[in-house]
């Protein structure tokens, strides 16, 4: 067509061709301007209705006038071919720019802001593009991006064409809903724009596949790799913007272009602010040419001894600085006489360019400096957790602390010196100032200004700052205890440490799935990051502990890459959980506290070690010691509340919870804990109120599972199902597996056990097909319990054997699995095998661990019960319970043993509790013995039957009738032959007949 005339357009040259037609450069002879003419394939507009629909869409697009949108001038026809005349934009597409060379962060943000402004203008008029991609955005020579092809995506066949894709590159920009053929809105454009932004930052697409089906699967199901993995200059905030735009769920995505635009503008402004070089008057600017570190000597006169120390220290600074950073940094020093100090509080580094500290630079500087200085013998450095607790008590924003407030915090922490810091500039290099202050007098001992380190050199910057602080405090590092570079004891990259710090913060708020994602991101960035693995090990993520224990094993292997304090923390938890040696764990824990008395996290681990040793009083004292050092430790107050509840001390339990709530009023867990405390004491209405309040802070918090259990016990199955679904709403895989089993609790409670068996058997096959064997353990266990209940004892043995073999393969076989196997053989009548397994249990397992001994005693009680030795069973149960909380979860088999051995009053009390007991998440109270994994869902129903039997024996006929009727009503739709149901009907008929 080149050289031809179409209407008043003269075709000049062909610009390109794609699935949506051919584009020519043409000259508008009427208005004397160049245009782009796009001719659409005839088949796209062959239907008259669809053609009119297209004209309507195109006219709407033609009404758009914005600097970042290519204008649509005209829609016409030539030889029955529809064409669109659009603004001709000179320049290169974003695809071409990205392929040519990496774009600077400034350019990416400039382009992104303008593109988002264009989308915002279109969306405001109700127009959705539906085909945003880097080929459809052209950047002019002046750097102005223009979005092209508005109004084309609703042409008949365009949706199909876009979905199938003329190339995989086109399909790669589709949103999940678009890829699945669903209706789309403006949020689909924002997803596609997120793909473009990811491409601009990394030079690659977030979703890939060798063929169309594989690509669609990736878009719908797979999470893209973190942007920071491919571009270390990307800030966490910008990474968050991209990932929010790429959220699979439209409700989790940006809802409006304006919201995304505001975040992009904020990020651009932050970068411009940092590059402007915020420097206070009177401070020395960075030398850009010096290749040697410069130290400005102090002005005041020193005494002879002080001068000698100062000169030596300066020489040491020069030597070490050259080692750490042989290129370009500068230190400006103002110093007064510093006396020897032994305790220090490193305050939060205020980030001047970004007061919100969204990239965590100020936080990282403080945390890393504490880690580095904590290696110094003779210096006690207060933990960040302790300082945060004091700040919360003073109701102070942790990212905006005045000097007076910092002094008050330091005084309450009981330190002699404090370090205040400010980040003055972040780009192109960091500029940091510090002031070392004597807390008692308020006198500034020294002030430093360090510049010349880039953000990627933050570890070297911290090493230099730590060296300066030690020098200012006149602390000499002994040759026998050398201080390692902070990179050697943390991570290899700042981004990895950022993710780790985020995970630690999320974990303190009990946002488990989010914390896990952050720790895993840190590990992806640095596979040798010991404390990131340790962070995973502190999470309780699923019914199976395989992943958590595996993370702890890895942390232990890498423990020498951590600071001494952290190494000892790893070894303490490893001794307690992997080696099953609580004595060793307690010994290491005590050694940590002796050297680091303010290391609050250790008191929690230490308490657990003493509990495993069977010394409940020492476990309680460990918590109280931690609170003595830091009365604002919310985690310890929470633990103390459960401890008091376990001892049936209601008033003390709620007083402790009140303290926890005061310390964390904006977090969901204090309210969740309060709800569970009420549940422990059987006050379910109050429990429900507080659990719902917890969900008002965060809808996907774990409180929904406990609310589901309460609804289950009340036979409100619709509410139970909604709560269980809510519990499983998180996209995190380990949290999806558990709710799948939990939703089966409803069927278990109704007595539909065979139906659940079928689903579990199918689930086992599905888990194997998906290579999710780590989640098979809980399924095998629940299947074993159900098999026993329906009378399939060989099936119970088979499931117990499969559970054992699985754990052997995972190197995780222990007391619990042995107990399940022994019980299965006893239940099936094979007492010889059960006895043999119990003997092996005693000979092969470390019985000095109280939890192990308790598991053995509990298993022995079950075996005695199956033999009909009910008195012996009661004795064994009591032995199992003696070292645990007295107010623990009721046990049905224990209650039956009490009843059959002549202890009716005790049996009635235990059975009454079993009918309303709600399964909670605190293991020392909700026993983690053999009949767990959801058996409470049907055992709570069976408790009504046995309570009826107990009442009948006690002559309480009316109460007995009520319990039998309750039992039969709940299991009216049971799908298996229950001997209890047959007996209940007979007993009920007899009692009613006698009445």
- Residues assigned a catalytic role: 131
> What does the DSSP 8-state code read for residue 724?
H
Per-position DSSP letters for 6-67, written without gaps between them = ETTEEEEEEEEEETTEEEEEEEETTTTEEEEEEEPPGGGG-SHHHHHHHHHHHHHHHT---T
3-state secondary structure at position 343 = strand
The C-alpha torsion from 953 through 955 and 960 to 962, rounded to 10°, is -170
Residue 412: other Cβ atoms inside 10 A: 17
> What does the DSSP 8-state code read for residue 920?
-
What sections of 664-713 are H helices per DSSP?
669-680, 684-697, 703-713
> What does the DSSP 8-state code read for residue 103?
P
User: What kind and span of H or E run contains 381?
Assistant: strand 380-381
CA within 13 Å, CB half, 43: 6
- Contact between residue 391 and residue 406 where contact means Cβ atoms under 8 Å apart: no
SS3 content of the chain, % helix, strand, coil (to 5): 60, 10, 35
| Gap between the terminal Cα atoms of the chain | 102
- What is the rounded distance in angstroms from the CA atom of residue 333 to the CA atom of residue 449? 7
- What is the rounded distance in angstroms from the CA atom of residue 290 to the CA atom of residue 668? 52
- Looking only at the bridges linking them, the beta strands covering 343-346 and 380-381 are parallel
Instruction: Tell me the sheet residues that pair with 346.
Output: 419
- Looking only at the bridges linking them, the beta strands covering 343-346 and 145-147 are unpaired
Instruction: Tell me the sheet residues that pair with 438.
Output: 417
Q: Report helix angle 669-680 to 634-646, nearest 10.
A: 10
Closest-CA residue to 296 (of 52, 530, 468): 468
Residue 68: other Cβ atoms inside 10 A: 20
Greatest extent of the chain over all pairs of C-alpha atoms, in Å: 108
Q: Calculate ∠ Cα 276-277-281, nearest 5°.
A: 125
- Contact between residue 841 and residue 859 where contact means Cβ atoms under 8 Å apart: yes
CA quadruple 313, 315, 317, 320: dihedral sign: negative
Question: CB under 8 Å, gap of 24 or more: what pairs does 857-861 form?
Answer: 858/819, 858/929, 858/930, 859/818, 859/819, 859/822, 859/823, 859/930, 861/893, 861/894, 861/897
Burial 856-885 (b: 16+ CB within 10 A, else e): bbbbbbbbbbbeebbebbbbbbebbbebbb
Phi-psi region of 144 (alpha: psi -120 to 50; beta: other; left: phi over 0): beta
The alpha carbon of residue 240 and the mean position of all alpha carbons in its chain are separated, in whole angstroms, by 14
Residue 765: other Cβ atoms inside 10 A: 9
CA within 13 Å, CB half, 213: 0
Cα dist from 628 to 599, 600, 609, whole Å? 12, 10, 19
User: What kind and span of H or E run contains 373?
Assistant: helix 361-373
């Amino acid at each position: 067509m080149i050289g031809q005339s179409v209407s008043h357009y003269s075709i000049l040259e062909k610009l390109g061709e794609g699935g949506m037609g051919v584009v020519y450069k043409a000259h508008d002879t009427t208005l004397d301007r160049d245009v782009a003419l796009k001719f659409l394939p005839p088949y796209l507009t062959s239907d008259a209705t669809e053609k009119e629909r297209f004209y309507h869409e195109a006219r709407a697009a033609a009404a758009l006038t914005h600097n970042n949108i290519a204008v649509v001038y005209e829609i016409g026809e030539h030889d029955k071919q529809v064409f669109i005349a659009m603004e001709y934009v000179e320049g290169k597409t974003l695809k071409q720019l990205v392929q040519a060379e990496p774009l600077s962060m400034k350019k990416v943000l400039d382009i992104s802001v303008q593109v988002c402004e264009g989308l915002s203008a279109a969306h405001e008029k109700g127009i959705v593009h539906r085909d945003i991609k880097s080929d459809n955005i052209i950047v002019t020579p002046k750097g102005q991006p223009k979005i092209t092809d508005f109004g084309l995506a609703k042409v008949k066949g365009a949706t199909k064409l876009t979905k199938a894709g003329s190339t995989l590159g086109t399909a790669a920009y589709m949103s999940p809903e678009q890829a699945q053929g669903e209706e789309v809105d403006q949020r689909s454009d924002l997803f596609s724009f997120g793909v473009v932004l990811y491409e601009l930052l990394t030079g690659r697409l977030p979703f890939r596949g060798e063929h169309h089906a594989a690509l669609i699967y990736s878009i719908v199901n797979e999470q893209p790799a973190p942007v920071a993995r491919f571009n270390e200059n990307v800030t966490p905030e910008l990474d968050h913007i991209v990932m929010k735009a790429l959220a699979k769920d439209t409700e989790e995505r940006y809802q409006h272009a304006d919201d995304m635009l505001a975040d992009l503008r904020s990020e651009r402004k932050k970068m411009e602010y940092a590059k402007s070089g915020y420097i206070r008057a009177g401070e020395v600017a960075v030398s850009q040419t010096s290749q040697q570190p410069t130290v400005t000597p102090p002005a005041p006169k020193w005494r002879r001894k002080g001068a000698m120390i100062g000169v030596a220290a300066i020489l040491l600074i020069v030597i070490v600085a050259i080692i750490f950073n042989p290129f370009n940094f500068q230190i400006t020093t103002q110093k007064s006489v510093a006396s020897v100090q032994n305790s220090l509080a490193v305050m939060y580094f205020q980030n001047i360019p970004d007061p919100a500290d969204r990239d965590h630079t100020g936080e990282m500087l403080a945390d890393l400096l504490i880690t580095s200085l904590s290696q110094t013998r003779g210096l006690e450095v207060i933990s960040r957790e302790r300082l945060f607790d004091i700040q919360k008590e003073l109701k102070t924003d942790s990212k905006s602390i005045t000097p007076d407030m910092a002094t008050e915090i330091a005084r309450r922490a009981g330190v002699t010196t404090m370090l205040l810091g400010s980040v003055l500039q972040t780009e192109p290099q960091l500029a940091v100032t510090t002031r070392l202050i004597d807390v008692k007098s308020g006198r500034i001992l020294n002030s430093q200004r360090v510049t010349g380190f880039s953000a990627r050199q933050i570890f070297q910057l911290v090493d230099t700052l730590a060296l300066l602080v030690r020098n200012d405090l006149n602390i000499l590092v002994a040759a026998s205890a050398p201080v390692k570079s902070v990179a050697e004891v943390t991570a290899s990259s700042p981004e990895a440490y950022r993710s780790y710090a985020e995970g630690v913060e999320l974990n303190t708020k009990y946002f488990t799935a989010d914390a896990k994602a952050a720790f895993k991101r840190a590990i992806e960035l640095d596979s040798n990051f010991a404390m990131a693995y340790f962070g995973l090990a502190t999470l309780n993520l699923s019914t199976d502990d395989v992943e958590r224990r595996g993370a702890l094993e890895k942390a232990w292997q890498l423990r020498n890459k951590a600071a001494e304090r952290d190494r000892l923390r790893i070894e303490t938890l490893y001794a307690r959980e992997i080696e099953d040696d609580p004595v060793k764990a307690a010994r290491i824990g005590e050694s940590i506290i002796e050297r680091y008395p303010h290391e609050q996290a250790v008191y929690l681990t230490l308490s657990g070690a003493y509990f495993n040793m069977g010394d409940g009083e020492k476990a309680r004292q460990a918590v109280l010691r931690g609170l003595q050092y830091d009365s604002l430790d919310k985690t310890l107050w929470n633990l103390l509340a459960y401890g008091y509840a376990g001892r049936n001390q209601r008033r003390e339990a709620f007083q402790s919870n009140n303290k926890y709530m005061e310390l964390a009023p904006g977090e969901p867990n204090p309210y969740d804990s309060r709800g569970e405390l009420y549940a422990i004491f059987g006050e379910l209405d109050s429990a429900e109120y507080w659990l719902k309040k917890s969900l008002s802070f965060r809808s996907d918090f774990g409180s929904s599972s406990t609310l589901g259990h309460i609804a289950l016990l009340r036979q409100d199955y619709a509410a139970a199902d909604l709560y269980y679904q809510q519990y499983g709403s998180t996209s995190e895989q380990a949290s999806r597996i558990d709710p799948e089993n939990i939703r089966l609790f409803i069927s278990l409670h109704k007595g539909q056990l065979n139906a659940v068996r079928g689903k579990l058997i199918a689930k086992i096959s599905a888990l194997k097909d998906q290579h999710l064997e780590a989640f098979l353990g809980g399924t095998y266990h629940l299947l074993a319990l159900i098999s026993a209940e329906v009378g399939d004892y060989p099936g119970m043995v088979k499931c117990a054997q499969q559970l054992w073999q699985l754990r052997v393969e995972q190197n995780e076989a222990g007391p619990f699995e042995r107990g399940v196997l022994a019980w299965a053989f006893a239940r099936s009548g094979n007492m010889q095998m059960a006895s043999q397994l119990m003997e092996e249990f005693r000979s092969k397992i470390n019985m000095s661990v109280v939890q192990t001994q308790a598991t053995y005693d509990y298993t022995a009680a079950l075996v005695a019960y199956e033999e009909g030795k009910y008195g012996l069973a009661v004795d064994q149960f009591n032995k199992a319970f003696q070292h645990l909380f007295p107010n623990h979860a009721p046990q049905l088999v224990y209650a039956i043993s009490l009843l059959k051995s002549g202890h009716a009053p005790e049996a009635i009390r235990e059975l009454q509790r079993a009918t309303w007991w709600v399964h909670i998440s605190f293991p020392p109270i909700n026993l983690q013995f053999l009949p767990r994994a959801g058996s409470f869902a049907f055992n709570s129903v069976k408790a009504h039957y046995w309570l009826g039997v107990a009442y009948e024996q006690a002559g309480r006929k009316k109460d007995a009738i009520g319990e039998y009727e309750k039992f039969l009503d709940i299991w009216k739709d049971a799908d298996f032959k229950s001997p209890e149901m047959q007996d209940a009907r007979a007993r009920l008929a007899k009692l009613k007949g006698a009445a």
